[in-house]
Amino acid sequence: MLKRDCPIEKTLNLITGKWKSVIIFQLFEHQKCRFSELQRLIPECSKRMLALQLKELEKANIIQKNIILTSPAKTEYSLTPYGQTLEPVIKSIDTWGKQQKN
Amino acid sequence: MLKRDCPIEKTLNLITGKWKSVIIFQLFEHQKCRFSELQRLIPECSKRMLALQLKELEKANIIQKNIILTSPAKTEYSLTPYGQTLEPVIKSIDTWGKQQKN
DNA sequence: CAGCATCCGATCGGATACTG
DNA sequence: CAGTATCCGATCGGATGCTG
């Protein structure tokens, strides 16, 4: 899947991909998010894409899913310790974006 | 083109897109690069994509092109002052990637 | 509620060939 | 040398409907 075996691409492959960075950012801000909560927070992302992106992030061990066995079932997503190490990277990207005029 | 109007997405839109981050990284390392030099440095990127990505980076004012009017013409790409402000972001991404085991 | 399966048009991107 | 043009298969991603 890697376009090129270099640190830049390796990192970007984890956090880009349509909605991953936004999901990660929301999880930094909210700690835990329900699936429906993420839908509400990121309305531009379709349900299908949200599920796909969450799955990939979970597979990459960046986020983890807690299933709450009520009926109907609920879920809670949160960053793994590994995912939390991305904080300086995400913050750096966010900070730069905020510094730009438009 | 923006998927979502937030700093994270705005920044990532500039530096992702198949090969942009790698091109930017190479220009940080080499200062100036010829088109053919970039082809050699990033062999996984087709000539077509390289031209497209360079064009988009130039349009976003991240890189600039100097045309040397010999025959045949040569070009030299380099980062603009604006593009250079991306250094902490790129470095942050690169550093994180290097810290990971595999 | 939290997904998965399918369909299908839109976009991507490689291969190839051509130009000043 | 540094691109551009065209073709075309592969992939993406939205819409919709179904499931436990």
- pLDDT (mean) for A12-38: 95
A17 burial (CB, 10 Å; 0-12 / 13-18 / 19+) is middle
Question: Mean pLDDT across the stretch A13-32?
Answer: 95
pLDDT at residue A102, as a whole number: 59
Q: Taking CA atoms, what residue in B is nearest to A6?
A: B97
Q: What's the whole-number mean pLDDT along residues B75-79?
A: 98
pTM of the model: 0.91
d(CA B93, CA B48): 26
How many angstroms separate the CA atoms of B89 and B87, rounded?
Answer: 5
pLDDT above 70 coverage of chain A, percent:
95
Q: What is the pLDDT of residues B41-69, one digit of tens each?
A: 999 999 999 999 999 999 999 999 999 99
Residue B4's pLDDT band, with cuts at 50, 70 and 90, is: confident
B4: enclosing H helix or E strand: none
The token pair at B52 is: 């497209």
Nearest protein residue, CA measured to C1' of D13: A49
Letter string b/e over residues B54-84, b meaning 16 or more CB atoms within 10 A of that residue's CB: bebbeeeebbeeeeeeeeeeebebebeeebe
In sign, the C-alpha dihedral spanning B40, B43, B45, B49 is: positive
pLDDT of residue A71: 86
Task: Please state, in angstroms and as integers, the Cα–Cα distance from residue A75 to each residue in A34, A43, A59, B59, B75, following that order.
Answer: 6, 18, 16, 43, 54
Residues A39 and A26: beta-carbon distance below 8 Å: no
Give A34 CA → D2 C1' in Å.
Answer: 51
Confidence of residue A41 (pLDDT cuts 50, 70, 90): very high
Q: Tell me the average pLDDT of chain A.
A: 93
Topology (CATH level 3) of domain A18-87: Arc Repressor Mutant, subunit A (1.10.10)
d(C-alpha B24, C-alpha B1), whole Å: 21
pLDDT at A1 over 80: no
Res A5: pLDDT? 82
**A53-87 pLDDT tens trace:** 999 999 999 999 999 998 899 999 999 999 999 99
CB contact under 8 A, B7 and A95: yes
Nearest Cα of chain A lies from the Cα of B71 at a distance, in angstroms, of: 33
**Which residues of chain A have a CB within 8 Å of the CB of B98?**
7
| Chain A environment of B61 (Cβ under 8 Å) | none
